[in-house]
Amino acid sequence: HTETIYADSTGDLRAVGEKAADVLRSGQPVALPAETVYGLAADALNPEAVARVFEAKGRPAHDPLIVHIANRDQLRQVADVPEEIEDVLKQLRQEFWPGALTIVLPKTDAVPDSVTSGLPTVAVRMPADPVFRAVLKAFGGPLAAPSANRFGRISPTSAAAVEEELGGRIPLIIDGGASKEGVESTIIKIEHVPNATKPNFHILRPGPVTIEMLKPIGRCKLPGKNRSAEQIKVEAPGQLDAHYAPRTPLRLIEDPADFTPEEGKRYALLTLDGGKKSKMMDAADWEVIEILSPGAGKLPEAAVRFYHLLRKLDGMDVDEIIAEAVPTHGLGIALMDRMRRAAVGSGSAEG
Ligand code: TXA
Ligand code: MG
């Protein structure tokens, strides 16, 4: 049985935090809102609690978890920060924490190997969501939390989506409303470059903290560029797996000339603008069209609505979802990354 409790910033967050902390102390996982997507949190320092997260999600052991912290003491508890990156880390913390930036750092012995999939590094971030922070505060220790979906599936951006994914498999869901950012945190690894004015940031996963935002502090290197599959497996584990995938086949169309509808097939269109701005509007007799940014919000608005609309289209009776490419700047880089991965894993009946 899964219980859902409600939390909003006007309510009693302390009571919600205490209730979640009780469950977490008993070694059980709790689904909760982050500003990015909903997470499934567990005591990061308790291997049994961590094992339950992998089990509930059906996640393979080679895909490490992100550790969420509330303060600098907890950062020191989980990460051994090399002296040469101390200054850069401080800049990043001041600029982006609390927020949607995850930083990969050498781990301490306190972090169980199951959290990091045996890697010598740990991915750490300080979440901004007030509910997540209230839970961290009440619990008083770092929380490991992957996105609260079945492995490989569409990330949840609402409590209802978590219920669809994990209902009956976890004891507690905290409903804090829709996620504010809508896509998972940016993950970077810092590479100190001797004698250079700036370090290199290897972007292991693009997200809400964009390259444009990181550029003043470090030189950003995008994933995959000049890297073999073997290198990616080592440096960005989990990133090669199929992800964010609907059960309905999904195709990402970058050039409208690449798409010719097949007779008798029912298609859904997922597009940034719709209307005259979409090059795909007249490309088929669409069963349904969903517009990522119907307002003036553009890419940030599209990110907020992306997983929600993908989930909605996946629940409709169509043969294929056609996603139209979005501009590749700002949040568009994260959106294109998620669309590509969704396309790779789509169309399979199970995990
Ligand atoms: O926004 C988010 O980051 C959400 C919320 C809940 O905080 N969490 C999230 O976790 O997206 P998850 O499990 O879906 O993604 C974690 C990914 C792994 O798949 C892996 O690619 C990367 O983080 N990761 C974790 N530890 C790592 C490490 N030591 N080195 C490199 N990559 C790591
Ligand atoms: Mg995930």
| CATH number, position 81 | 3.90.870.10
The ligand minimizing its distance to the Cα of 118 is 1
Ligand 1 atom closest to the Cα of residue 239 is 21
3-class DSSP assignment, residue 293:
coil
Which of 175, 202, 225 lies at the terminal end of a domain, its last residue? 175
Q: Is 55 part of a structural domain of the chain?
A: yes
Number of domains in the chain: 2
Q: Are residues 39 and 161 in the same domain?
A: yes
Give the tens place of pLDDT for each residue, 9-44.
Answer: 777 999 999 999 999 999 999 999 999 999 999 999
Q: Is 328 known to sit in a ligand binding site?
A: no
Is any ligand 1 atom within 6 A of the Cβ of residue 236? Answer: yes
Is any ligand 1 atom within 6 A of the Cβ of residue 123? Answer: yes
Residues around ligand 2, an ion, CB closer than 5 A: 147
Q: Is 145 known to sit in a ligand binding site?
A: yes
Q: Which CATH number do you get for residue 276?
A: 3.40.50.11030
- Tell me the Ramachandran region of residue 63: left when phi exceeds 0, alpha when psi lies from -120 to 50, beta otherwise: beta
Q: Give the residue carrying structure tokens 């927020």.
A: 99
Q: Are residues 151 and 297 in the same domain?
A: no
Q: Is 275 part of a structural domain of the chain?
A: yes
Euclidean distance between CA atoms 200 and 205, whole angstroms: 15
Q: Are residues 65 and 151 in the same domain?
A: yes
Residues with Cβ within 8 Å of 96's Cβ and at least 6 positions away in sequence, in order, are 209, 213
Is any ligand 1 atom within 6 A of the Cβ of residue 70? Answer: no
Ranges assigned E (strand) in the chain: 3-6, 30-33, 38-43, 66-68, 101-106, 121-125, 143-144, 172-175, 186-191, 200-205, 219-221, 250-253, 267-271, 288-291, 320-324
Q: Are residues 151 and 32 in the same domain?
A: yes
Q: Are residues 56 and 162 in the same domain?
A: yes
Give the tens place of pLDDT for each residue, 229-250.
Answer: 777 666 766 676 678 889 999 9
Which of 136, 156, 175 lies at the terminal end of a domain, its last residue? 175
Give the tens place of pLDDT for each residue, 102-116.
Answer: 999 999 999 999 999
Is any ligand 1 atom within 6 A of the Cβ of residue 186? Answer: no
Identify the domain containing residue 295 by its residue range: 250-345
Which of 121, 153, 175 lies at the terminal end of a domain, its last residue? 175
Is any ligand 1 atom within 6 A of the Cβ of residue 184? Answer: yes
Task: Tell me the CA–centroid distance for residue 146 and ligand 1, in Å.
Answer: 6
DSSP 192-244: --TT-SS-EEEEEE--SS-HHHHTTTSEEE-TTTT--HHHHHHHSTTTTS--S
Q: Is 232 part of a structural domain of the chain?
A: no
Give the tens place of pLDDT for each residue, 126-155.
Answer: 999 999 999 999 999 999 999 999 999 999
ipTM (interface pTM): 0.99
